[in-house]
Structure 1
Amino acid sequence: MWRPSLIACALVAPLAVHAAAAAQQTAPHIERVDPALDALIAPEATVERVATGFSFTEGPLWHGNRLWFSDVSGDVLRSVDDAGRVEELIANAGGLANPPAGKSIGPNGLAPDRDGTVLMTQMGARRIVRIGADRRITPLITDYRGKRLNSPNDLVFAADGALWFTDPPFGLYNGMDRDPAKQLPYNAVFRYVGGTLTPVITDLKLPNGIGFSPDGETLYVTDYGPPGTIYAYKVGRNGALSGRRVLIAFPADGAGGADGLKIDRRGNVWATGPGGIRVISPEGKVLGRIVLPEVAANLAFAGDGHTLYITASTSVYRLQTKVAGVLPRYAR
């Protein structure tokens, strides 16, 4: 997911300004920390900007031969094709009737469901909804035992079909945890299966990105920070978690915090964080970093898994990879 600014309770605008200033100084490039990166990203690979001019991009999902992505502060769900042609899919996608300008109230994470529909988190409306083939929106998860969710952020289906999602307070724009509208006592990672919603993790400050290892036996969750941390959990029967360990504690060496992540088929974690996207081995070794002129918020593998799309501030970027990424469970 995305954190709305560099410091708590700040707005999106300063982040966009920072990114614009950085763009004058940094060209997209790949920093190779370990020779093992060459097996994942070819030495001659380059990062290209596919489209730009948005407010703050997030939640990328390859669906129907194009990339769907959220414009969080712009309150719009859009798509872009291989050629860079952009289409507006849903306006007012965050679900608030009168959304305040510049706040983190738009759509965010996206995930395909088994029936071909797409699930979307709405930060403003504080719920998870289903988008049908006709783009009509139907609420799916709105509360936990009668208490409204904070602002669902990122989501992923596990191998057993259970839906997992993070629920930080970023969409509570009147102070996040201090917002009078907050009803839950924690910022949880939830598991939803068979109509039952369960808070599985409740001790993280700002749970954000989420993903599973290829074998489904490890759950990765980011705690935003900044600079932030990625935790790894062993996944047991019926989603029981144990053995939490730190995969990486990010250094404070650039703008942004621990945000979205994805995993490749070899088990490496591709994670946004301060100063760019790090490629991290399952043991926690940083193999390299993708550096952009903007703050990277999230990423998604597309097509056959060898194309990586990155949502970063005002733009969408693309990189071809040698390793294939793990696609969403119900990808089409």
Structure 2
Amino acid sequence: MTETSPLPHRGIARRPLLGLGLLGALAPMRAREARASDDLSAVLDPSARVETLYDEGEWCEGPVWAPTLGGLIFSDVRRNRMMLIREGSRAEVFREPSNNANGNVIDGEGRLVTCEHRTSRVVRREADGAITVLAESHDGGRLNSPNDAVVARDGTIWFTDPTYGIDQAEEGTPRPSEQKGRFVFRLAPGSSLAVATDRFVQPNGLAFSPDERILYVSESGRREGAPAEIRAFDVADGRISGERRFASGFEGVPDGLKVDTDGRVYAGTGDGVRIWAADGRPLGHIPTEGPCANIAFGGADGRRLFLCAGRRVLTVETKVRGAAIRT
């Protein structure tokens, strides 16, 4: 396993993606520019520019701001490696091979928690670089391919377990599922792994509201007949209830989710980042050329939004701060 080795500088330097501002005229994206009715004034300055930080990936995913590790960590899932972008610097290989790592999150002690497709594990990187396995099986069988995770303030890890890493050779190792479903799991400190909900076909991204009383989860099983939607659940005493549809009707399927300190919900979708108010009212759209898989807030003040969109990692300065980032 290799950590923090530099890549050649080609293609790494920042450059504007939308040279005329956020809603500027990048020809392939005109059809997907935000509508005049979109209201992102509280989120973005009109002159905000989306810039490219990295464009040498194959399928970038799982971004997380990791101050103790030096900057932005993300997974290049299909290249079987994890990358690190330090502030003002070029990308470096952080971990290779990565076991086709996907989602990443930082826990309350600043440690990196990672979902691995190839090994069907959720692991934690300790301060000395050692890897601790947190979850790899349930009810006598291996997990499918843990995809994305969040860590609550009490240290409980919630993660999704769809089958992408055992269905697709480029993202893991094809094999039959050993689980009875594709679950959202909950792993509380000192407790065994528990199913939080079994009501998804392919659960994907997830995020908490700022007060952690609501859990949002993406359903990405459209190819298997499931609706492409984001659902919301009430959270109390480690249990979820009150399942309801929060958002639907967007291009592609919802993938990674994030929430800002005002409760707005951000989702990677088939044509960029879609944003909703806490009450479910659509606010607007940050377009990308092709699907946006996942997003993260970070930077020194927590106001930079990072977007993983295919082979690229993009960034834009916002007026808001992510609800769950740790600086």
TM bracket (short chain): 0.7 to 0.9
What displacement does 1:115 show? 3.2
Is the counterpart of residue 314 in structure 1 residue 297 in structure 2? no
Q: Unmatched 5+ residue regions in structure 1?
A: 1-22, 95-105
Matching of residue 323 in structure 1 with residue 324 in structure 2: no
**What is the one-letter code of the residue matched to 2:165?**
G
> Number of aligned pairs?
291
How far apart are the structure 1 equivalents of 2:182 and 2:284?
Answer: 31
Which residue does 2:23 correspond to in 1? none
Aligned residue in 1 for 2:98: 93
Please list every run of 5 or more consecutive structure 2 residues that lacks an aligned counterpart in the other structure.
1-25
Residue 15 of structure 2 is matched in structure 1 by: none
Q: Return the alpha-carbon distance in structure 2 between the equivalents of residues 164 and 174 of structure 1.
A: 24
The answer to whether the 8 Å contact 1:149/1:184 transfers is yes
Offset, 1:31: 1.5
Which letter maps to 2:106?
A: P
Deviates more, 1:75-84 or 1:285-294: 75-84
* Paired amino acid for 1:246: R
TM-score, normalized by length of structure 2?
A: 0.83
Partner amino acid, structure 2, of 1:233: F
Of 313-322 and 156-165, the range deviating more from structure 2? 156-165
Query: What do the CA deviations read for 1:189-248 (whole angstroms, capped 9, x no partner)?
Result: 0010123211011010010000000011110000013471100011112x2211111111
Aligned to 2:243: 244
The one of 180, 187, 193 equivalent to 1:185 is 180
2:293 alignment partner AA: A
Query: How high is the sequence identity, in percent, across the aligned residues?
Result: 35
Q: What TM-score do you get using the length of structure 1 for normalisation?
A: 0.82
Tell me how far apart the structure 2 counterparts of residues 174 and 262 of structure 1 sit (CA, whole Å): 26
Say whether residues 1:54 and 2:57 are aligned partners. yes
What is aligned with 1:159?
A: 153
Q: 1:170 to 1:33 in 2, by over 3 A?
A: farther
Paired position in structure 1 for 2:163: 169
Q: Tell me the distance in 2 between the aligned counterparts of 1:208 and 1:148.
A: 18
Distance 2:192 2:155 in 1: 13
1:66-145 pair list within 5 angstroms: 66-94=71-99, 106-145=100-139
- How far apart are residue 271 of structure 1 and its match? 0.5
- 2:41 paired with 1:38: yes
How many angstroms apart in 1 are the aligned matches of 2:265 and 2:36? 15
Task: Identify if the C-alpha distance between structure 1 residues 161 and 216 changes in structure 2 by more than 3 Å, giving closer, same or farther.
Answer: same
Per the TM alignment, residue 296 of structure 1 is displaced from its structure 2 partner at its CA by 0.5
Asked if structure 2 preserves the Cα contact closer than 8 Å seen for 1:214 and 1:266, the reply is yes
Native 8 Å contact 1:53 1:315 kept in 2: yes
Q: 2:32·2:271 contact (CA, 8 Å) conserved in 1?
A: no
* Highest RCO, 1 vs 2 (Cα 8 Å, sep ≥ 6): 1
SS of residue matched to 2:40: helix
SS class of match (2:29) = coil
Q: Distance in 1 between matches of 2:239 and 2:206?
A: 16
Corresponding residue number in structure 1 for 2:231: 231
Shift of 1:273: 1.4
1:283 to 231, 256, 279: 279
- Indicate if the aligned counterparts of 1:33 and 1:289 stay in contact, CA closer than 8 A: no
> Matched residue of 1:289: which SS?
strand
Q: What's the offset of the Cα at 1:54?
A: 0.7
AA matched with 1:92? P
Distance in 2, Cα, partners of 1:145 & 1:47: 45
Give the match for residue 25 of structure 1: 28
**1:30/1:66 Cα in 2 relative to 1: closer, same or farther (>3 Å)?**
farther
* Residues 164 and 27 of structure 1, relative CA distance in 2, 3 Å threshold: same
Whole-angstrom CA distance in 2 between matches of 1:26 and 1:84: 28
Q: Secondary structure at the match of 1:70?
A: strand
Q: Relative to 1, partners in 2 of residues 1:136 and 1:241: Cα closer, same or farther, differing over 3 Å? A: same
